Structure 1
């Protein structure tokens, strides 16, 4: 019980900050509130610890929720995604090169640490590959945690202040009560979560705990076996948990380290987002896609976090999620190969 107290404290703080953020009208309040609150608490040496044991439970729930937004009409638009896929490798190269310059030349990181800190891929994957290559694990972890934090905050504020889109009002209007689901609905969605996570790992899918359930949930909703998403309380609980986990990643780091890494991540991430906006504008100009949709598809945040943000902003979850899965797969597959080539 003693070990659980810091995790419970972090969750309680996350819930309180989520409530405050919701009533303050902050975009994506149930994730941004806990994330910012626990980041501040971690920097102030408060005894908060990430509730990591809850992650395997909430991630499949998020996958099921994302899958519920997939419809036959969306699948009919697959052909219109080709241009996004063609430009994606070019975007990744530009974003990674800019970020590497910031970490290497401005931050003074060694080449290995700067390279894997700059890659817009998954935190865990880049940490593993980067440490095996001889990089500084702590700096790589902080760089990616800070990138996700900064990107989510900037993207949410961009939607709220520039595009005038607020996640709070959307969530309120689409509230799904616990009683809105039948027993069979609960059984089907639970089966999608459990079986999807297991099949995703067996098939070695990228971000398997979220992508596997998302695929099965999408199949179930397109087939008409179930027609409702998970209850909104489950969605809020998942967002509070994810925001808390992201914020508490800074626990144990000194204020100087966090300030420095956040500053570097802010510069690198803002530069990435400017590049993102430029590529999104190209997509809008050529294909006529909505700017919000194109911008979210290229924003270099985490798959789970960006998918949640997409859902909260009432955008095309299937399109954005698939693009982020492909982005992460490309980075995981190509980053080590490019690194070995550069090293030679």
Structure 2
């Protein structure tokens, strides 16, 4: 597995040639971010749903397929993800506690949904993609990309296939969900998550200090407490607490939301760097079939939840859409949906998959007689 940002002790042992090679990545990262920014502006200009994420994703995926010298700015992720957590936490209010009762059905049906969605996805990768059983299983699990890749590799699966499958799944799901909201549900968004622009000077110095503390302490504390999706969930909890207590009452500046979406979109698009065109075509095709199967199941479950609990179909659909936590939470924010509800459901989904996937795989392997 490629390590984008080595430990300082490792960097200290690099030769001069290795240092020069690492420094040569910076122009490629800058090119990727430039493509992301230009693509985002273009997507916004033509009215594409969720332009600041979809634009960079599509632009950098095309750049990777054309063999342009781009590289994922992975070093931004440890900074961007906690900031996203703080932004998501700003949507938490005291009224959330009054809504907890209406979330019970969503939580109860979540494991059933995961079994149905993962089962269909497994059939796609096993029967159509002809993956080996281990690779097909971990490629089908709607959990975190890194976690599924590591678990699959430990079980003897093809690490690269699993990684590309999850990267393609996230790309397809975000694209489809954004289009579904805009074209089917009629929910429009300029991708900022707010009807009015929030300027940098709209919040005070004390607000910046408190929110900055949520970024740093939330990321550190979440990791120490071993929270699921700690880099985003830790800051989300702290930010939510400060907003409930009234220490901070303002929305984050819009430019931060746009910058986060451009960064995440660029990172997703550049995940295909180094893959052959045949691999990209195959994985995008399989991911499209797999994602559409899971999303069809998600629509059915969301419709049932909406009818039974009164939760809007749009929110239930976002809660069950099998994308990444940060990405789906950003979608909820940008589409002015209930960020807390969507984020918590995805945290629980990822936790369930990571905890249950190895156990279920062991049971299936035992029953198969291998």
TM-score, with length taken from structure 2: 0.92
Distance in 1 of aligned mates of 2:196 and 2:141 = 36
Change (3 A) 1:192 1:172: closer
Say whether residues 1:81 and 2:100 are aligned partners. Answer: no
For residue 228 of structure 1, give the secondary structure of its aligned residue in structure 2: coil
1-structure distance, mates of 2:98, 2:319: 18
Q: Does 1:198 align with 2:198?
A: no
3-state SS of 2:336 partner: coil
Whole-angstrom distance in 2 between the partners of 1:137 and 1:65: 33
Quote the offset at 1:234 in angstroms.
1.3
Within a 5 Å distance, the mapping from 1:291-306 to structure 2 comes to 291-306=313-328
Question: Does structure 1 residue 11 correspond to structure 2 residue 67?
Answer: no
Distance 1:96 1:315 in 2: 26
Displaced runs of 4+ in structure 1, greater than 6 A? none
SS of match in other structure, 2:95: helix
Counterpart residue number, 1:277: 299
Task: Note the C-alpha offset of 1:172.
Answer: 5.9
Q: Deviations over 1:221-263 (max 9, x none)?
A: 0100011122111111111000000000000001110000100
Counterpart for residue 115 of structure 1: 137
Decide which moves more: 73-82 or 177-186. Answer: 73-82
2:347 to 316, 325, 339: 325
**Could you say which residue in structure 1 is the equivalent of 2:151?**
129
Output aligned runs, 1:210-249, within 5 Å: 210-249=232-271
Q: Does the 8 A contact of 2:64 with 2:70 survive in 1?
A: yes
Q: Is the alpha carbon distance of 1:12 and 1:150 closer, same or farther for their aligned partners in structure 2, counting shifts above 3 Å? A: same
Superposition deviation, residue 296 in structure 1: 0.5
Q: Is residue 35 from structure 1 mapped to residue 57 from structure 2 by the alignment?
A: yes
Distance 2:196 2:120 in 1: 39
> Which residue is equivalent to 1:264?
286
Runs of 5+ unmatched residues, structure 2: 1-22
**Cα offset for 1:63?**
0.3
Picking from 203, 213, 228, the partner of 1:181 is: 203
Q: Could you say if the C-alpha distance between residues 169 and 267 of structure 1 is closer, same or farther in structure 2, counting changes exceeding 3 Å?
A: closer
Query: 1: distance between equivalents of 2:120 and 2:166?
Result: 15
2:273 matches 1:251: yes
- Cα distance between partner residues in 2 of 1:330 and 1:210: 17
Of 49, 56, 69, the residue aligned with 1:47 is 69
Count of paired positions:
344
Aligned to 2:12: none
The CA distance in 2 between the partners of 1:68 and 1:172, in whole Å, is: 12
Query: Which has more radius of gyration?
Result: 2
Per-residue CA shift, 1:92-122, capped at 9, x if unaligned?
A: 0000000000000010000000000000000
2:115 equivalent to 1:93 = yes
Distance 2:192 2:164 in 1: 32
Task: Tell whether 2:136 aligns with 1:103.
Answer: no
Q: Please give the root-mean-square deviation of Cα atoms over the aligned residues, in Å.
A: 0.9
Q: In 2 relative to 1, CA 329–128 (structure 1 residues): closer, same or farther, beyond 3 Å? A: same
